[in-house]
Amino acid sequence: MKTTSRTTLMFITAAAAVALGLAGCSAPAAPASTTAATTAPSTSAAPTPTETAAAGGDQSKAEACQILSASVSSIAADMQSSMTELQSDPDKALKTLDSLSDSMHDGLDDVTQADVHAAGEKAYKSLVKMTDAAKTIIKNPAKFDAAAYTKTISAVQTDFTAVGTTCNG
């Protein structure tokens, strides 16, 4: 039982790390909107960032960050709102993490700006690694290695912070 409680605590910590990390990822949306508002009046038919990426046009860092932010923002809200349920329903939390990974992957498909794509890809890979580790821990709590999992959580935090730094820098 003690292992299960420690596992649940670490999983909650991991989910919190993702939620907090996503705050840095979603922060660029405001500057991107501001840029769009200043360069194109709201009544114009300017292409959306996704249309620009799909057309193969040059994608600004702000556009790329807006795409990435939009791809994870609704899932990040779900993650934050389900924090209280993680202990009682870890399977639901895993599904939310899977949805987050899937949404981020889909967003990365539309990001053509090299710096944002590289930072986003690294964060995505860290998130997948953490999600896979959490699945292993939940299925077999005896395999829980607190030090290794803490290192994985730290990588997620670092990599999502790097996305925010790339987008805001």
Q: Is the pLDDT of residue 113 over 60?
A: yes
pLDDT at 14: 60
Q: For the segment 5-48, what is each residue's pLDDT rounded down to a tens digit? A: 555 555 555 655 565 555 555 444 333 333 333 333 333 333 45
Alpha-carbon distance of 143 to 146, in angstroms, equals: 10
pLDDT at 22: 55
Q: For the segment 44-98, what is each residue's pLDDT rounded down to a tens digit? A: 333 454 444 444 458 999 999 999 888 888 777 677 666 556 667 777 778 888 8
Give pTM, 2 decimals: 0.71
pLDDT at 94: 80
pLDDT at 145: 87
pLDDT at 41: 34
Tokens representing residue 20 in the block: 């907090």
- The CA R_g of the chain, rounded to the nearest whole Å, is 17
What is each CA distance from 119 to 43, 86, 107, 125, 164, in whole angstroms? 33, 28, 13, 10, 9
Average pLDDT, integer, range 89-110? 86
